């Protein structure tokens, strides 16, 4: 499809001119930031702007004024090289900043931070980093890791619901997880492992939006990636949908509505897009992937959008207000209703409410170590995996949100929780404490990172030599 044909298609689907302006604001901010840094990836944000805008404005249950709200929907950008997509959204939605674990009344990313993209000490590094930029739910960069994190977040959401939701409080925890990924994410083995596990667990609260743009750094993806992704995910047990044009926001909305109605499996939405959308000379080419477009190409692209060609970092009138009336207003109402409901919950279920408060603040309950065994000196000794298993069980009895498992090695690593009521975490028993990751060391690491980011205390186990398989996730765990 040529740029002109693409523009015609977009015009037929985005009927509200202000919505089109908001989408093009995301695109132009990404182009300008990458160009000013003389480094970065403009093509993905240009392609995905209508996808992310539709998700945030119409579906994401997220209050920009409280990015720590426990029941917020999670948004993960697994293809983190397209970071200007999430930075633009955070800026335009007015996400508040977080300092020392508390929300403060200042923007997470003022416009000046977008102008400092990829600069030392800025809040807009080349790839999103958890803890550095409020609104970023996880550190992404190594492709596929964000997919695994999203699976972990979805498992945590379902576990929290099973443990803490009570009659009259059935929606205390029910957040959805949305992740955008690219071709590279789905080529990486960690995503395959994680998505297989997600299908087994029937994670109906997980939606993966696949940016199917057919372009990688070396050229067309047909050089190395020709599988049928839809059939692959059907084999995993996912619901698979397709949107043939990333600019068709109504089709995108219909697909997201189908996800929300699907209650027995995760959903993959394959979105056919044009990397570098609107660039007359670089759209649908690897030249739009990992380098600035160039000043002249940016002017031509802005002309295609009907944008002032020489304006940089322009946010037109009405754009901030549109975000405030969309995700801002909807998220605020949902968050305020949750806070009021939690106050009722706290009055009726004070012990459970106290557990939630401790958990979300990373604290431990009083007496968490009361059942930790003592091992007297013994000439014969005790294998550390045996003693470790006893200690793990002693702690888990008194830390109800401690759960985890192994990569099919629990009988050997002694990490099975054996006390009464521990149970097994499966699709039919989502509140179990023992997880079975299968032989998926890499996904296990990425999944428990996602669970930890949702504030439960997860663990994974395996033989030391197999830790090499999970090194990418281990590295990100250390960073976060």
pLDDT at position 13 = 47
- In 199-310, DSSP assigns E strands to 206-212, 215-216, 219-220, 239-243, 267-272
Q: Under 8 Å CB-to-CB from 421, ≥6 apart: which residues? A: none
Which one of 129, 188, 193, 441 is the catalytic residue?
Answer: 441
CB atoms within 10 A of CB 37: 18
Q: Are 256 and 269 in contact (CB under 8 A)?
A: yes
Catalytic-residue membership of 441: yes
For the whole model, what pTM was predicted?
A: 0.96
Distances (CA, A) of 175 to 172, 301, 332, 335: 9, 38, 15, 12
pLDDT at position 379 = 87
Cα–Cα dist 427/406, whole Å: 17
pLDDT at position 9 = 42
Q: Which residues of 418-456 are buried (b: 16+ CB within 10 A; e: fewer)?
A: eeeebeebeeeebbbbbbbbbebbbbbbbbbbbbbbbbb
What tens digit of pLDDT does each residue of 230-262 get? 999 999 999 999 999 999 999 999 999 999 999
pLDDT at position 10 = 45
Which helix (DSSP H) or strand (DSSP E) does residue 6 occupy?
helix 3-13
Q: Which residue has the tokens 């093009």?
A: 24
Positions in the chain short of pLDDT 70: 1-14
């Amino acid at each position: 499809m040529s740029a002109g044909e693409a523009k015609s298609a977009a015009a037929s689907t985005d009927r509200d001119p202000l919505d089109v302006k908001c989408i093009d604001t995301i695109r132009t901010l990404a182009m300008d930031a990458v160009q000013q840094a003389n480094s970065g990836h403009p093509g993905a944000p240009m392609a995905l702007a209508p996808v992310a805008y539709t998700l945030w404005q119409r579906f994401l249950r997220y209050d920009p004024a409280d990015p720590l709200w426990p029941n917020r929907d999670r948004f993960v950008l697994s293809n983190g090289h397209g970071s200007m997509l999430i930075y633009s959204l955070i800026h335009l939605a007015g996400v508040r900043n977080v300092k020392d674990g508390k929300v403060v009344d200042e923007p997470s990313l003022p416009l000046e931070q977008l102008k400092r993209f990829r600069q030392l000490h800025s809040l807009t590094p080349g790839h999103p980093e958890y803890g550095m930029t409020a609104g970023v739910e996880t550190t992404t960069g190594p492709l596929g890791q964000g997919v695994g994190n999203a699976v972990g977040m979805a498992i945590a959401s379902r576990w929290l619901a099973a443990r803490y939701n009570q009659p009259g409080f059935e929606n205390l925890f029910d957040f959805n997880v949305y992740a955008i990924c690219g071709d590279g994410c789905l080529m990486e083995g960690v995503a395959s492992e994680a998505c297989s596990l997600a299908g087994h667990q029937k994670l109906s609260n997980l939606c993966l939006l696949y940016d199917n743009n057919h372009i990688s750094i070396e050229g067309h993806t047909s050089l190395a990636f020709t599988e049928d992704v839809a059939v692959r995910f059907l084999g995993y047990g996912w619901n698979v949908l397709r949107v043939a044009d990333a600019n068709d926001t109504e089709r995108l909305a219909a697909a997201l509505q189908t996800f929300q109605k699907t209650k027995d499996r995760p959903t993959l939405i394959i979105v056919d897009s044009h990397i570098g959308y609107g660039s007359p000379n670089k759209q649908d080419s690897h030249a739009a992937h990992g380098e600035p477009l160039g000043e002249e190409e940016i002017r031509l692209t802005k002309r295609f959008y009907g944008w002032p060609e020489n304006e940089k970092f322009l946010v037109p009138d009405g754009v901030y207000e549109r975000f405030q009336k969309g995700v801002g207003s909807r998220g605020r109402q949902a968050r305020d209703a949750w806070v009021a409901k939690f106050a009722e919950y706290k009055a009726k279920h004070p012990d459970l409410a106290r557990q939630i408060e401790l958990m979300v603040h990373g604290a431990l309950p009083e007496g968490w170590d009361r059942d930790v065994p003592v091992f007297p000196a013994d000439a014969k000794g005790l294998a550390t995996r045996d003693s470790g298993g006893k200690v793990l069980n002693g702690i888990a009895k008194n830390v109800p949100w401690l759960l985890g498992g192994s990569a099919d090695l629990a009988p050997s690593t002694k990490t099975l929780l054996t006390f009464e009521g521990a149970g097994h975490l499966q699709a039919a028993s989502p509140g179990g404490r023992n997880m079975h990751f299968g032989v998926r060391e890499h996904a296990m690491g990425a999944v428990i990172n996602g669970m930890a980011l949702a504030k439960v205390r997860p663990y994974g186990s395996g033989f030391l030599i197999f830790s090499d398989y999970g090194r990418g996730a281990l590295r990100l765990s250390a960073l976060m």
